[in-house]
């Protein structure tokens, strides 16, 4: 991509001068379609314009001319460069991908990020059934990289941040690459509690609803017809956490989902199932604990317990990493503000916990 600078000159007292402006003309390589770059009916161009409201962006032929504050113009040029790199890799762009790219570039400009958007958006983890699974945010890429680099990785964050889905994709990738011989997926069936015995059907019938999200993710990543065969052979195992006790899991990719609903004892039990040639990923959201009142979440204290232990990594995902409907991120942030505001409900909960602790 070539660009030419045409700074706009200004005169007068420097103290009252408007911010220096610049004009760049970006020449898009011929192998990149302008329709793909700007989007159907210019939808991607409109995202770019909304993201940089103080710049003027004009597209003509295979050239994009940007005029505005020098810093903003430089960011637009880097954005277009990233967008063309993504398209050159054979991947399509969406408005969401462009918005996330802008966020990454602004983080870079502020000195809080170092990842190029193209490096994040073109990292393919798994291709299956006509779709490719890849990270969509910088934190997600760091999480995926941590899974590669560490034996035990914790993915902690709110709903919709892809912590379980990306872990599942890495597990399937490892199985297909013969890095492991099997996948073990588990989660605590806390919601069942003592009511499990009252549910109809066999034990499997009773437990399956609590494991359904794991089955759903598997169906996204593998041929549905192959899943029963792989499960019958023991290559893929989906089971409640209680089934892990007393086992040593060698040459396996093991995922513990909804780990906020484990007790400290259960967390210790699970982590010590690690065998030779295995990898563990633990995922959870410490803001959604369903344990009985007074029970400490194993996920909340494990970071303190394992501090300083080599080959164990904690990845933090936030509302900015939510990849579901954009409203999900807004909901997560609204709840975080509400929890921090000292609302009557929050104060009442804190008072109950304090009274319980005094009673002990």
DSSP structure class, residue 19: P
Check whether residue 133 and residue 65 sit in a common domain.
no
Measured between alpha carbons, how far is 259 from 94 in angstroms, rounded to an integer?
33
Asked if 167 and 255 count as a contact pair (C-beta separation under 8 A), the reply is yes
pLDDT for 7 equals: 42
Check whether residue 69 and residue 187 sit in a common domain.
no
Task: List, run by run, the mean pLDDT of 10-residue segments along the chain (360 residues).
Answer: 44 52 88 90 91 90 90 91 89 88 86 79 78 88 96 94 94 96 89 49 64 85 91 92 92 96 94 97 92 89 94 93 73 76 60 60
pLDDT for 257 equals: 94
CATH code for the domain in which residue 78 is found: 3.30.1370.10
Beta strands in the chain (DSSP E): 2-5, 21-27, 56-60, 63-69, 126-128, 131-133, 152-156, 182-187, 236-240, 252-256, 279-284, 312-316
pTM above 0.95? no
Asked if 25 and 18 count as a contact pair (C-beta separation under 8 A), the reply is no
Check whether residue 38 and residue 154 sit in a common domain.
no
End residue of a domain, out of 75, 95, 121: 121
pLDDT digits (tens, 9 = 90+) for 117-136: 888 888 888 876 667 888 98
Check whether residue 288 and residue 340 sit in a common domain.
no
End residue of a domain, out of 121, 152, 186: 121
Check whether residue 145 and residue 267 sit in a common domain.
yes
Check whether residue 217 and residue 309 sit in a common domain.
yes
Measured between alpha carbons, how far is 142 from 153 in angstroms, rounded to an integer?
11
pLDDT digits (tens, 9 = 90+) for 160-200: 899 999 999 999 999 999 999 999 999 887 654 434 555 55
Measured between alpha carbons, how far is 20 from 50 in angstroms, rounded to an integer?
21
Element of type H or E holding 216: helix 203-221
Check whether residue 194 and residue 259 sit in a common domain.
yes
End residue of a domain, out of 77, 96, 121: 121
pLDDT digits (tens, 9 = 90+) for 247-273: 999 999 999 999 999 999 999 999 999
Question: Looking at the 3D structure of the chain, how many domains does it have?
Answer: 3
CATH code for the domain in which residue 245 is found: 3.40.50.300
pLDDT for 130 equals: 63
Domain range enclosing 105: 2-121
Check whether residue 178 and residue 308 sit in a common domain.
yes
Check whether residue 260 and residue 304 sit in a common domain.
yes
Check whether residue 210 and residue 279 sit in a common domain.
yes
Measured between alpha carbons, how far is 141 from 326 in angstroms, rounded to an integer?
19
Check whether residue 257 and residue 222 sit in a common domain.
yes
Measured between alpha carbons, how far is 249 from 54 in angstroms, rounded to an integer?
57
Check whether residue 157 and residue 297 sit in a common domain.
yes
- Here the tokens at position 300 are 């909340």
């Amino acid at each position: 991509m070539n660009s030419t600078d045409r700074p706009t000159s200004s005169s007068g007292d420097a103290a009252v001068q408007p911010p220096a402006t610049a004009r760049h003309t970006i020449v898009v390589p011929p192998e990149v379609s302008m329709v793909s770059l700007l989007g159907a009916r210019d939808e991607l161009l409109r995202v770019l314009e909304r993201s940089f409201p103080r710049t003027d962006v004009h597209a003509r032929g295979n050239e994009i001319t940007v005029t505005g504050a020098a810093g903003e113009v430089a960011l637009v040029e880097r954005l277009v460069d990233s967008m063309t790199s993504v398209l050159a890799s054979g991947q399509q762009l969406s408005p969401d991908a462009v918005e996330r790219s802008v966020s990454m570039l602004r983080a870079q400009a502020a000195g809080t990020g170092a990842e190029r958007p193209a490096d994040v958006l073109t990292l393919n983890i798994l291709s299956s059934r006509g779709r490719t699974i890849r990270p969509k945010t910088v934190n997600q890429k760091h999480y995926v990289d941590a899974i590669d680099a560490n034996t035990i990785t914790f993915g902690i964050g709110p709903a919709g941040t892809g912590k379980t889905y990306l872990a599942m994709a890495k597990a399937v990738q490892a199985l297909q690459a013969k890095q492991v011989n099997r996948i073990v997926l588990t989660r605590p069936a806390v919601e069942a509690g003592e009511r499990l015995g009252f549910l109809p059907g066999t034990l499997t019938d009773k437990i399956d609803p609590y494991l359904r999200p794991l089955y759903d993710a598997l169906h996204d990543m593998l041929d549905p017809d192959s899943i029963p065969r792989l499960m019958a052979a023991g290559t893929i195992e989906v089971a409640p956490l209680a089934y892990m006790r007393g086992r040593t899991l060698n040459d396996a990719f093991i995922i513990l989902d909804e780990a906020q609903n484990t007790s400290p004892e259960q967390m210790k039990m699970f982590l010590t199932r690690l065998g030779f040639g295995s990898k563990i990923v633990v995922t959870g959201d410490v803001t959604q604990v369903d344990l009985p009142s007074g029970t400490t979440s194993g996920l909340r204290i494990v970071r303190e317990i394992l501090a300083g232990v080599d080959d164990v990594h904690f990845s933090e995902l936030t509302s900015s990493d939510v990849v579901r409907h954009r409203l999900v991120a807004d909901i997560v942030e609204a709840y975080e503000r509400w929890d921090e505001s000292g609302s009557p409900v929050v104060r009442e909960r804190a008072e109950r916990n304090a009274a319980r602790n005094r009673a002990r």
